[in-house]
Chains A and B, each alone.
Chain A
Amino acid sequence: GAVVSQHPSRVICKSGTSVKIECRSLDFQATTMFWYRQFPKKSLMLMATSNEGSKATYEQGVEKDKFLINHASLTLSTLTVTSAHPEDSSFYICSAGLAGVVRETQYFGPGTRLLVL
Chain B
Amino acid sequence: KQEVTQIPAALSVPEGENLVLNCSFTDSAIYNLQWFRQDPGKGLTSLLLIQSSQREQTSGRLNASLDKSSGRSTLYIAASQPGDSATYLCAVNRNSGYALNFGKGTSLLVTP
Contacts and interface: CB of A to CB of B under 8 A. Distances in A.
Nearest to A31: B97
Nearest to B31: A104
A93 B44 contact: yes
Interface string B1-27: 000100000000000000000000000
Contacts, number: 53
Classify the secondary structure of B's interface with A: strand
Classify chain B: how many residues form its interface, as a range.
Answer: 20 to 34
B89 A43 contact: yes
How large, as a class, is the contact surface on chain A? 20 to 34
Contacts of B105: 43
Given A93-B43, A108-B44, A111-B42, A103 B97 contact: yes
B41 interface: yes
Contact of B34 (A43, A46, A103, A105): A105
Contacts of A46: 99-101
Interface string A28-49: 0000101010000111111001
B109 interface: no
Residue picked from B36, B43, B103, most chain A C-beta under 10 Å: B43
Interface of B: 4, 32, 34, 36, 41-44, 46, 49, 51, 89, 91, 96-97, 99-105
Interface of A: 6, 32, 34, 36, 41-46, 49, 91, 93, 95, 97, 102-106, 108-111, 113
